[in-house]
Each structure stands twice: as structure tokens, then as C-alpha cells.
Amino acid sequence: MSGFLAWIAGSGVVQGVIMGLTFAYLTTVLVLNAVAKTETRTVNGWGAIRKAGQPGNGLLVRAALQKALPVVNVFEEAAYWTATSDDAGERLNGDHAYRLHFAAGQLPPTDAFWSLTATDTIGYKVSTSIGRSSVDSHSGLLKNADESVDILLQPHQPSGPPQNWLATPSGGFKLMLRAYLPGTAIVDGDYEVPPVIEVRS
């Protein structure tokens, strides 16, 4: 057995196969990422893949979108947007505070509900002192005097009421906004999620 292992360790053929498989894997990842990027529509820093889950997608597109958004419904049933940068194009980072400002009547229109979640760059949710990792259409968000809504994105709870606060992790993070049974404006592509704006002191 030790002789066989020694042969494998010294075999140029085996090493070539291993190197070939490694390069094939890396090439596949690069190709899938490139295809997913071409299928992503980005507005105000929020990317959405509208073709996810559609039966007419070819094999390559299906594989790419499955890698980008595993186990998702078709866009008409559940719309997903992700953001990793603010309105200035800077990567989101827990060292900064941000605001997501929805003008009056511009919260995501749905026939069910919407939710906004902050995770680290891998996708793990944030644990908070108030035991909430997202805000949604049932969070009792407080409105401004002009009926607009501001969601505060920062690691520490603000001094005011926590309804409009979404905790962010330390270091880089990403946001995911989901709209279940999205309204016509979302399905038709007319609705735009507002940009994430850094709050500068």
C-alpha cells in the first residue's frame, strides 16, 4: 500500500490530473460568475436577477443563477435584491452608519410582505441585543413627517426607538431585500430600491 501511495505522490500523470481538475473547477466558477453577472440588473447599487427560476433558461444560465441565488422562487413570486456597496460605490462596512430612505409610498409594493436582512459577506445573519436580524413590513416602522421612512443600518442600537434599526456586522457586509408576491411595479421593472447612503457625522 505504501508503495502505491508513493507512486501516486511521484506520478506526473496523477499530478497532471489533479492540476487539470483544479483548473477546470476554477474555470467553471469564473464562467458561472460571469454568466450570473450578465443576468444581473443593478440599479442604485441593488442587483436583481429577474430570470432566476425560469424554466426556459439554458443549462449554463440555470447553473450560474443557482450558484448566485440557491433555491429561489421565480421573480414573479419572490423578488430578491442584494447590495454590497453604498451610493458612492464604496463597499458596505460595519465601521460606518448608513440610511435607506424610502420616499412616501415607496416601500416595496407586495401582495404578501417584504423583508430586509443584513449578513456578513458569507451570508451569516447578525445577532442583536433585541433578537431581530431583519426589518420587514410587519416591524411597525415609524414614518417621518412627510410619510417617508428611514431605515438605519449600523452596528449599535440608536438612541431613539429601535423599530427602524437594522443591525450590521463588523467588517464588510451585504444586504438582501426580499419582496414576496411582488406588486405589478416590481414585476414590470418600474420599481427601484433606493440607494444605501452613508451617514456622515
Query: Mind listing the pLDDT tens digit for each residue in 55-93?
Result: 655 554 555 555 445 556 677 888 889 899 999 999 999
* Residue pair 116/176 in contact by the 8 Å Cβ criterion: yes
The mean per-residue pLDDT over the stretch 14-37 comes to: 52
For 136, list phi and psi in degrees, rounded to 5.
-150, -175
Query: What was the pLDDT predicted at 68?
Result: 47
- Pull the grid cell for residue 109: 409594493
Among the residue ranges 84-98, 114-128, 167-181, the one predicted with the least confidence is: 114-128
What domain range includes position 105? 39-199
Average pLDDT over the chain, rounded to whole?
78
C-alpha of 123 from chain center: 8
Taking the C-alpha atoms of residue 138 and residue 65, their distance in angstroms, rounded to an integer, is 30
- Pull the grid cell for residue 18: 489533479
For the chain, give percent helix, strand, coil, nearest 5.
25, 30, 45
Taking the C-alpha atoms of residue 157 and residue 94, their distance in angstroms, rounded to an integer, is 13
> Does residue 113 fall inside a structural domain?
yes
Read off the pLDDT band of 196 (50, 70, 90). Answer: very high
Q: Highest mean pLDDT: which of 3-7, 55-59, 181-185? A: 181-185
Higher confidence at residue 161 or residue 14? 161
> Does residue 24 fall inside a structural domain?
no
C-alpha of 146 from chain center: 29
Rounded to two decimals, the pTM is 0.75
The mean per-residue pLDDT over the stretch 14-35 comes to: 53
Query: What was the pLDDT predicted at 122?
Result: 79
> Does residue 14 fall inside a structural domain?
no
Query: What was the pLDDT predicted at 17?
Result: 61
The mean per-residue pLDDT over the stretch 103-115 comes to: 95
CATH of residue 189: 2.60.120.600
Query: What was the pLDDT predicted at 28?
Result: 47
| pLDDT at 111 > cutoff 60 | yes
Which residues touch 134 (CB under 8 Å, ≥6 apart)? 115, 116, 117, 118, 125, 166
Which residues touch 87 (CB under 8 Å, ≥6 apart)? 44, 45, 195, 196, 197, 198
Read off the pLDDT band of 38 (50, 70, 90). Answer: low
> Does residue 7 fall inside a structural domain?
no
Read off the pLDDT band of 54 (50, 70, 90). Answer: low
Domain count for the chain: 1
Taking the C-alpha atoms of residue 156 and residue 162, their distance in angstroms, rounded to an integer, is 10
